[in-house]
């Protein structure tokens, strides 16, 4: 399996409103980035699983200077690294009111270019 | 065994260099280093260059060799982001130690600021591609954004504030005030940093290095007699992750590993280092590197800066040229400026007695690639 085709599959899960990740049944390791083999134990067979979407804000920044012309009109926006309860870290857009340590829940949303990206907001109690 | 000695250095002013492109700047500074060496450029048998975002070319080293009029027996273009400067010196040391080369020219330059083919917008867009193409770049972070993410976690973990980060910007500006050729030399205060334009929280404009034109060169030789008497005593690298999302522990990014390898090879303890040059693309970069390498205790680098420890008259002078934050950042040459400045202060009259050992560290990506160099006199 090529990484490009794994990325395509990842996008397809997002389009179905699911946050996927790869799981190694040999060492039980979970991977937030798509990859061809487990970089913990080296096993070749990784299987897709669906994350709950719940996690905590591990790092967060509010972007005031966008890198692309297409994003300039959308500043300020927040980007976070979220530690999901499955143990993996993922990057996502985040609600501007969020702070480090906040419990969040995530879902895929449509980006300006039509692709799906992860978005996190405060977890409902 | 052959050893690598620093025989000549060159450093242009950083800021604007109108009408000089990447290759022109490299030529200017190569001439300065060769003049400083006092030998002929035809004796250069090794050439190491970096890359230039303003002049993307598949073969920058040999492109420059032709323009400069040399025919080296070894040429190499190195690409490790901000770690490239130190990594080039490491490669030069290894080429000389192995006997493959006797006189290696290490040179970098870039008109990143005034090049008319690239705009500030396109430079920022290019640099933001250091994120993971699929899992990070689409979210729209910039390089300051990636370091802002790091900073948010680091400040929280070690109980630091944005005022603490600002200390690093103030200190670099103070040092640049004494350095001819610095891009920014007007003094600033902690408050100036705090109220400067928002870029990517907690990074404000004055937490970020500027984009500059400039160039730097170092001549590394196997001949102690033709050198400044400064030996490349130990070097080390570490590459533990590429992308910020893959950092397992922000207190262990690889800086400590790279530094330990360099100290071990040099048989010099970090407590015996007299002067340091530490990569400072952002205030958070400098704070985290000082603490991970171990020059300051965790959470104490800003306190050490404020009490004068890292000042020109302090116990461990740091980036006396003003660093990337104030001398300026012209890509690969920005990371080489720390090397040039430390080696000059170790060899020049007036300061050489005080500085017998030096340590320089560069990081590329998001604290991804680390390269450390220990210099020793005699």
Pair (A70, A100) in one structural domain: yes
Per-residue model confidence (pLDDT) at position A104: 98
Measure the CA–CA gap between B184 and B189, rounded to whole angstroms: 14
Pair (A73, A37) in one structural domain: no
Instruction: Give me the DSSP letters along A38-65.
Output: -TTT--S-EEEEE---EEEEEEEEEESS
Residues with Cβ within 8 Å of B375's Cβ and at least 6 positions away in sequence, in order, are B6, B230, B231, B232, B233, B342, B343, B346, B357, B358, B359, B360
Pair (A70, A14) in one structural domain: no
CATH number of the domain bearing residue A76: 2.40.50
- What's the ipTM? 0.97
How would you write the pLDDT of chain B (378 residues) with one tens digit per residue?
789 999 999 999 999 999 999 999 999 999 999 999 999 999 999 999 999 999 989 999 999 999 999 999 999 999 999 999 999 999 999 999 999 999 999 999 999 999 888 787 888 888 888 899 999 999 999 999 999 999 999 999 999 999 999 999 999 999 999 999 999 999 999 999 999 999 999 999 999 999 999 999 999 999 999 999 999 999 999 999 999 999 999 999 999 999 999 999 999 999 999 999 999 999 999 999 999 999 999 999 999 999 999 999 999 999 999 999 999 999 999 999 999 999 999 999 888 789 999 999 999 999 999 999 999 998
Which DSSP symbol is given to B324?
Answer: I
Mutation site, A21, A39, A59, interface B, largest B CB count within 10 A = A59
Measure the CA–CA gap between B81 and B362, rounded to whole angstroms: 9
Measure the CA–CA gap between B26 and B32, rounded to whole angstroms: 10
Pair (A109, A69) in one structural domain: yes
Residues with Cβ within 8 Å of B91's Cβ and at least 6 positions away in sequence, in order, are B48, B76, B78
Pair (A117, A87) in one structural domain: yes
Per-residue model confidence (pLDDT) at position B265: 97
Residues in chain A within 8 Å Cβ distance of B204 = none
Pair (A46, A61) in one structural domain: no
Measure the CA–CA gap between B59 and B221, rounded to whole angstroms: 24
B243 touches A at CB < 8 Å: yes
Measure the CA–CA gap between B350 and A22, rounded to whole angstroms: 60
Pair (A35, A83) in one structural domain: no
Pair (A64, A38) in one structural domain: no
Pair (A46, A66) in one structural domain: no
Per-residue model confidence (pLDDT) at position B125: 82
Residues in chain B within 8 Å Cβ distance of A76 = 198
Go through B120-149 and write b for each residue having 16 or more CB atoms within 10 A of its CB, e for each that does not: eeebbbebbebbbebbbbbbbbbbbbbbbb
Structural domain of A73: 54-122
pLDDT digit string, tens, across residues B170-207: 999 999 999 999 999 999 999 999 999 999 999 999 99
Pairing of strands B46-49, B5-11: unpaired
Pair (A73, A87) in one structural domain: yes
Pair (A11, A64) in one structural domain: no
pLDDT digit string, tens, across residues A63-102: 999 999 899 999 999 999 999 999 999 999 999 999 999 9
Residue with tokens 């990594």: B87
Residue with tokens 């693309």: B281
Residues in chain A within 8 Å Cβ distance of B244 = 59, 81, 91
Say if residues B169 and B207 touch (Cβ distance below 8 Å): yes
Residues with Cβ within 8 Å of B338's Cβ and at least 6 positions away in sequence, in order, are B85, B277, B278, B279, B319, B321, B323, B360, B362
Pair (A71, A37) in one structural domain: no
Residue contacts between A and B (CB atoms, under 8 Å): 98
| A61/B200 CB distance under 8 A | yes
B148 touches A at CB < 8 Å: yes
As beta bridge partners, residue B235 has B373
| A64/B197 CB distance under 8 A | yes
Which DSSP symbol is given to A113?
Answer: T
Instruction: Count up the domains in chain A and report the number.
Output: 2
Measure the CA–CA gap between B127 and B108, rounded to whole angstroms: 18
Domains (range + CATH), chain B:
5-116+212-225 (3.40.47.10)
Is the omega angle on the peptide bond into residue B12 within 30 degrees of 0, that is, cis?
no
């Amino acid at each position: 399996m090529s990484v490009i085709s794994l990325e395509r599959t990842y996008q397809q899960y997002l389009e179905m409103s699911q946050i996927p990740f790869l799981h190694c049944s040999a060492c039980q390791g979970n991977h937030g980035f798509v990859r061809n083999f487990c970089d913990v134990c080296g096993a070749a067979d990784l299987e897709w699983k669906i994350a709950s979407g719940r996690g905590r804000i591990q790092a967060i920044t509010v972007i005031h200077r966008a890198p692309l012309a297409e994003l300039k009109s959308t500043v300020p926006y927040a980007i976070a690294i979220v530690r999901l309860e499955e143990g993996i870290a993922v990057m996502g857009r985040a609600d501007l009111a969020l702070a480090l340590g906040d419990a969040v829940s995530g879902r895929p949303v449509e980006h300006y270019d039509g692709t799906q990206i992860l978005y996190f907001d405060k977890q409902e109690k | 065994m052959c050893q690598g000695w620093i025989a000549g250095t060159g450093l242009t002013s950083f800021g604007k260099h109108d009408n000089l492109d990447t290759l022109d700047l490299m030529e200017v500074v190569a001439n300065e280093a060769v003049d400083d060496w006092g030998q002929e450029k035809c004796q250069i048998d090794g050439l190491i260059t970096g890359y230039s975002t303003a002049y993307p070319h598949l073969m920058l080293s040999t492109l420059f060799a032709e323009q400069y009029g040399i025919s080296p027996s070894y040429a190499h273009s190195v690409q490790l982001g901000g770690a490239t400067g130190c990594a080039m010196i490491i490669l030069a040391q290894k080429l000389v130690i192995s006997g493959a080369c006797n006189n290696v020219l290490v040179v970098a330059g870039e008109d990143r600021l005034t090049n008319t083919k690239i705009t500030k917008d396109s430079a920022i867009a290019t640099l933001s591609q250091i994120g993971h193409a699929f899992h990070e770049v689409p979210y729209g972070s910039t390089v300051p954004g990636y370091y802002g993410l790091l900073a948010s976690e680091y400040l929280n973990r070690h109980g630091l504030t944005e005022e603490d980060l600002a200390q690093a910007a103030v200190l670099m500006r103070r040092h640049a005030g004494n350095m001819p050729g610095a891009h920014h030399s007007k003094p600033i205060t902690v408050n100036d940093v705090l109220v400067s334009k928002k870029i990517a929280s907690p990074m404000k404009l004055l937490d970020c290095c500027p984009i500059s034109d400039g160039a730097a060169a170092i001549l590394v030789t196997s001949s102690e007699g033709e050198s400044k008497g400064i030996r490349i005593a130990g070097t080390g690298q570490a590459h533990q992750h590429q992308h910020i999302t893959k950092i397992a522990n922000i207190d262990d990014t690889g800086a400590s590993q790279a530094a330990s390898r360099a100290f071990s090879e040099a048989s010099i303890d970090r407590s015996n280092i007299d002067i340091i040059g530490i990569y400072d693309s952002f205030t958070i970069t400098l704070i985290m590197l000082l603490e991970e390498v171990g020059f300051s205790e965790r959470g104490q680098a800003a306190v050490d800066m404020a009490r004068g420890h890292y000042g020109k008259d302090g116990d461990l002078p740091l980036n006396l040229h003003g660093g990337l934050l104030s001398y300026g950042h012209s890509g690969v040459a920005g990371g080489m400026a720390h090397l040039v400045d430390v080696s000059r202060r170790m060899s020049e009259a007036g300061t050489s007695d005080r500085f017998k050992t030096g340590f320089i560290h560069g990081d590329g990506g998001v604290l991804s690639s680390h390269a450390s160099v220990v210099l020793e006199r005699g």
